[in-house]
Each structure stands twice: as C-alpha cells, then as structure tokens.
C-alpha cells in the first residue's frame, strides 16, 4: 500500500531542492568570475603588449643604424663613442686597448669580458664596430676598431643608449601609462657550471621575475645587440597589477555580499517555511485529535441511549445507573469542548480577562472545591497548606483558579491508583506568591519537561495513553499565568513524582 508522504517531509525535500538549485549555479557563477578576472588580467597584458609591439620593432631596427653612424674619437684624452650630433654613448672610464694578447682597461668587468676576444683580436675590422660580449651571465656592449695590430675600443653606456631611445619616442602617443625604456641582458643559461650553476641561475631568474620589474612589452634586439632586450617598464604603478587588484577586490566584496545575502535569505525563508509547515501539521493533528477525542464519548452515549430506547432495562435502579453514566460522558464532552474553545480564544487573542483583587485563599478554595467535587468517589490524600499574611493578587479569578485546578487534575491523573498523595502549598515568594502542586506520581523525564507545555503535546507512555487528555491543559495554564505576569516551572523525578510551581506577582492595589 502506498502512502502519500507527510507534508512535513515534502517541505524538507522542496527546501533541499531549492538550496541545490540556488547554490550550485551560484558556485559555478563564482568560479566563472574568478576565471574572468584572470582572463581580464591576461587581456590587459596583451593589449599593452600589442600597443608597444610596433614601437619596439621600429626602435630595435633603428638602433643598429644609429650605432653604425657613430665614430670613436678621443675627448679630453679619453676615447669616446660619439654620435654624428656630438652626443657620446660610451662609459667615461670604459676605454680599452688590446695589444700583444694583452687587455688594458680600468674596468675589471670589461677586462674579464675582453679576455675571450683577445685571441681573435687580429681579425677585428678596421672601422668602428659594435658588438656584445657575455661573461658570468652578464652582457657588455663595446665599440672597437683595429689600427694595425692594436685594437682600441670603449664600453658603451647602457644608460646613454636608453636615454637615446627615450628621445626617439613619445610614450604618451602609445599608451597613457608613464613608462621608460630599459636595455636588459637576455637571460641565458650558463653553458658551464653543471647542475649547481643551472640551479643558481634558475633561482636567480625566478627571483628576478617575482621581485624585479615586470615589463609591459619587450623585444630581443638584433645583432650586434643580440644579448640585450629592449623592455618597456612602467615608471608609476603597474597598470596591469592596478587593474587586476581593483577587479579582484571589487569581485571579492561583491561575492561576499552575495553569499551573505544568500545565507540570510536561505535561513530566513527556511525558518518561515518551517514554521508554516509546523503550523499546518499542527492544524491537521488538531483536527484528528479533536475528532478522536469526541468519538469515544459519543460512541458510549449512543450505546446508552440505544439501551434505554430499546427498553431493555426493566429495573429502575439500572436505568438510573445508565442515566448517571450518560451524564458523566456528556460532562466529559462539554469539558473537552470547553477546553478546545478556551484554547482557540486564547490563541486568537479573543480571551478577555476580568481582573480583580482576589485574596489567594479564595483562589485556592475555588480550585480545591472544584477538584473535590470531581474526585469525590476516588481515594486521594490531598493536603492544602496556605501560609498566613499572603498578599492579594490582581487576577481573573476563574482563569487562575482553573489553571490551578488543571495542575491538581494532572497530579491526580498521572499518579498510580494506590496511595495517591497530592500536596498544594501556597507561600509568599519575593513580591508575589508561589502555588506549588506536588504529587507522588509517574514523574516526567528531563527531555519532556519543556515540551509538556506545548499545545497538544502528551508524553507517550502507557499511563498517558490510558488517561483522557487533550495535551492542552498545561499550554492553557502557561498562557494564563504568563498573561498575568507570572511563570510556571516544573521539577520532577521520574518514578517518584512531580512538582509544578506557579509564581504570581502581588496585586498593586
């Protein structure tokens, strides 16, 4: 037999589906955003690179021509490499001579670099020639000419060359970022040095790319400057880093706000839906409970009436007995209906309390009186202790007496049939009064102690199942007491008994 799942389960499933439908696409969307930001950075890099590519190309083509037009001339006794417009592009102290296999220069780095060309010195051309040399991973640019067996030359100044390039281009025409040109050596793997050397150079390269300036665009120069690359360096803040940082921060903040709102929305909707589902479940429970509670007395009433109607009872004493039973059943019915209506009135906010100043003893007497009339036939040992000098209370007499009566009824209902002992103690407490009902009944397990005050909640045990009740008594009692500014609490030891205490504040009159 198939059953439709309860609404409550349906709610959970729907809610889980909703979450999946929202969370999965939003996670995808966030991931997509991260990829988009990375791509955007790459796009900015590409755009700048493209903007500079043409300029770099023409500069690198022009440079060898410019250098070819310069000549080696002595200035103030020092050999210099001078452009046709008179501008020197050599190091002031960079002059050198190669003679008889000997290098003569004041620049030690230059000396080291030149040592490699000494054997070929005789083959150098007689007109000024520019070439680059590398030693120990560093590149040196020199201009030299051979006069007979002696080679004269000078080291070129990288700064001067950079200045020369800067003069030829207006960077603003290319892109808005402030930049400068730099001639940097082309990183090359050292041909010797083995594993250790390679390792050192790789570490150095990784460091340089992580810490060193990152160019917007670069181009390796053509011969004779093949050991150098022309790099466009941003002089201000790196525009690529700036754009990507701004986007990353913006994206992070938006993502944070989105997930915060999403979480809030999910929690809020979840709570609202949960409450709705609970309420609708409670309504269904209520209808089935009320119908169930009405069915039992109605069945017995019908049985008794049938018995009477069929004239089966000849003995007037028997008739009287059936009539008494009928009366008790109808009374039970009206008490139950009254309680349900009471609850509906309280829940709907339609219950009107007629407050007046009442002495505590009057409330106690009214409750005990009602309790005694109901339980006349059963043996119960009820002790009532009321302290002297208690303050009067400002309450609705019938409502509070009813609440107290409910505690007495519960104490009776949830105690074993033998040796029932109920104590009602009334004492002053702080600025009010404590009314305590203690029994020696079945007691209440710790996890049930708060739930018993919920509407329609009944502890599920054998005694409760055999006892009539709606699960509304304590809920109504608590509502009444709280509306009067008081509170109700319970202490209990399962198997030994329970102790319910109502605390009410003293009346103001």
User: Under a CB-based contact definition with an 8 Å cutoff, are residues 69 and 143 in contact?
Assistant: no
Which residue, 396 or 438, has its beta carbon nearer to ligand ADP? 438
H-state helical runs in 69-184: 108-114, 158-168, 171-174
**Shortest separation between residue 344's beta carbon and ligand ADP, angstroms:** 16
Separation of alpha carbons 114 and 294, rounded Å:
115
Token pair recorded at residue 9: 């389960």
The helix, strand and coil proportions of the chain, stated in percent and rounded to the nearest 5, come to 50, 20, 25
**Shortest separation between residue 471's beta carbon and ligand ADP, angstroms:** 5
**Shortest separation between residue 448's beta carbon and ligand ADP, angstroms:** 7
Which residue, 390 or 481, has its beta carbon nearer to ligand ADP? 481
**Shortest separation between residue 467's beta carbon and ligand ADP, angstroms:** 7
**Shortest separation between residue 475's beta carbon and ligand ADP, angstroms:** 6
**Shortest separation between residue 323's beta carbon and ligand ADP, angstroms:** 27
Token pair recorded at residue 89: 């592009």
Separation of alpha carbons 87 and 96, rounded Å:
20
Task: Give the largest Cα separation in the chain, rounded.
Answer: 160
Q: At a CB cut-off of 8 Å and minimum separation 6, what does 491 contact?
A: 498, 499, 501
Q: Is 489 helix (H, G, I), strand (E, B) or coil?
A: strand
Which residue, 143 or 442, has its beta carbon nearer to ligand ADP? 442
Which residue, 458 or 479, has its beta carbon nearer to ligand ADP? 458
Which residue, 432 or 471, has its beta carbon nearer to ligand ADP? 471
**Shortest separation between residue 460's beta carbon and ligand ADP, angstroms:** 8
User: Under a CB-based contact definition with an 8 Å cutoff, are residues 127 and 154 in contact?
Assistant: no
**Shortest separation between residue 399's beta carbon and ligand ADP, angstroms:** 16
Which residue, 263 or 334, has its beta carbon nearer to ligand ADP? 334
* Residue 442: Cβ-neighbour burial (10 angstroms; 0-12, 13-18, 19+): buried
List residues binding ligand ADP (CB under 6 A): 410-411, 414, 439, 441-444, 452, 457-459, 464, 469-475, 498
Which residue, 146 or 458, has its beta carbon nearer to ligand ADP? 458
Which residue, 366 or 411, has its beta carbon nearer to ligand ADP? 411
Separation of alpha carbons 80 and 75, rounded Å:
6
Beta-sheet strand order (sheet of 497-505): 381-386, 421-429, 432-439, 497-505, 487-493
Separation of alpha carbons 409 and 473, rounded Å:
9
Going by C-alpha positions, the residue among 434, 450, 444 that lies closest to residue 501 is 434
**Shortest separation between residue 341's beta carbon and ligand ADP, angstroms:** 15
**Shortest separation between residue 354's beta carbon and ligand ADP, angstroms:** 24
Which residue, 229 or 458, has its beta carbon nearer to ligand ADP? 458
Q: How far is CA 59 from the centre of its chain?
A: 55
Which residue, 105 or 436, has its beta carbon nearer to ligand ADP? 436
Going by C-alpha positions, the residue among 228, 200, 328, 271 that lies closest to residue 15 is 271
Separation of alpha carbons 183 and 189, rounded Å:
19
Q: Is 315 helix (H, G, I), strand (E, B) or coil?
A: coil
User: Under a CB-based contact definition with an 8 Å cutoff, are residues 386 and 406 in contact?
Assistant: no
Strands in 455-506 per DSSP E: 487-493, 497-505
């Amino acid at each position: 037999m198939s059953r439709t799942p309860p609404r409550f389960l349906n709610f959970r499933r729907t809610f889980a589906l909703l979450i999946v439908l929202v969370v999965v696409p939003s996670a995808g969307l966030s991931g997509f955003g991260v990829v988009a930001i990375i791509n955007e950075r790459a796009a900015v890099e590409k755009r700048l690179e493209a903007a500079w590519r043409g300029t770099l190309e023409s500069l690198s083509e022009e440079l060898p021509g410019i250098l070819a037009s310069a000549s080696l001339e002595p200035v103030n006794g020092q050999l210099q490499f001078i452009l046709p417009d008179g501008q020197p592009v050599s190091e002031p102290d960079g002059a050198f001579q190669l003679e008889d296999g000997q290098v003569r220069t004041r620049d030690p780095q230059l000396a080291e670099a030149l040592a490699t060309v000494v054997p070929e010195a005789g083959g150098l051309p007689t007109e000024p020639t520019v070439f680059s040399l590398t030693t120990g991973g560093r590149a040196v640019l020199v201009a030299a000419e051979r006069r007979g067996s002696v080679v004269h030359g000078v080291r070129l100044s990288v700064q001067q060359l950079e200045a020369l390039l800067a003069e030829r281009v207006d960077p603003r025409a290319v892109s808005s970022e402030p930049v400068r040109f730099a001639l940097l050596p082309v990183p090359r793997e050292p041909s010797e040095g083995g594993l250790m050397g390679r390792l050192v150079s790789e570490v150095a390269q990784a460091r340089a790319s992580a810490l060193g300036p990152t160019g917007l665009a670069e181009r390796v120069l053509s011969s004779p400057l093949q050991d150098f690359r022309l790099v466009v360096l941003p002089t201000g803040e790196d525009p690529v880093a700036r754009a990507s940082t701004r986007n990353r921060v913006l994206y992070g903040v938006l993502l944070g706000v989105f997930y915060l709102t999403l979480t809030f929305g999910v929690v809020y909707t979840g709570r609202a839906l949960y409450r709705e589902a609970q309420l609708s479940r409670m309504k269904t429970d209520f209808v089935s409970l009320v119908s169930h509670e009405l069915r039992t007395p109605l069945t017995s009433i019908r049985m008794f009436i049938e018995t009477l109607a069929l004239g089966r009872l000849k003995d007037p004493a028997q008739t009287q007995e059936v009539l008494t039973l009928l009366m008790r059943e109808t009374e039970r019915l009206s008490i139950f209906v009254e309680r349900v209506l009471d609850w509906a009135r309280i829940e709907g906010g339609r219950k009107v309390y007629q407050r007046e100043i009442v002495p505590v003893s009057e409330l106690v007497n009214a409750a005990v009186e009602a309790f005694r009339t109901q339980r006349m036939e059963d043996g119960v040992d009820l002790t009532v202790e009321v302290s002297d000098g208690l303050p009067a209370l400002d309450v609705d007499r019938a409502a509070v007496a009813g609440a107290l009566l409910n505690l007495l009824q519960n104490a009776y209902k949830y105690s074993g049939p033998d040796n029932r002992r109920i104590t009602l103690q009334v004492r002053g407490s702080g600025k009010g009064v404590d009314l305590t009902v203690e029994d020696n009944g079945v007691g209440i397990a710790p996890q049930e102690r708060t739930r018993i005050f919920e509407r329609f909640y009944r502890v599920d045990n054998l005694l409760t199942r055999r006892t009539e009740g709606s699960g509304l008594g304590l809920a109504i009692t608590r509502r009444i007491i709280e509306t009067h500014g008081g509170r109700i609490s319970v202490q209990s030891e399962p198997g030994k008994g329970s102790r319910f205490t109502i605390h009410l504040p003293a009346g103001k009159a």
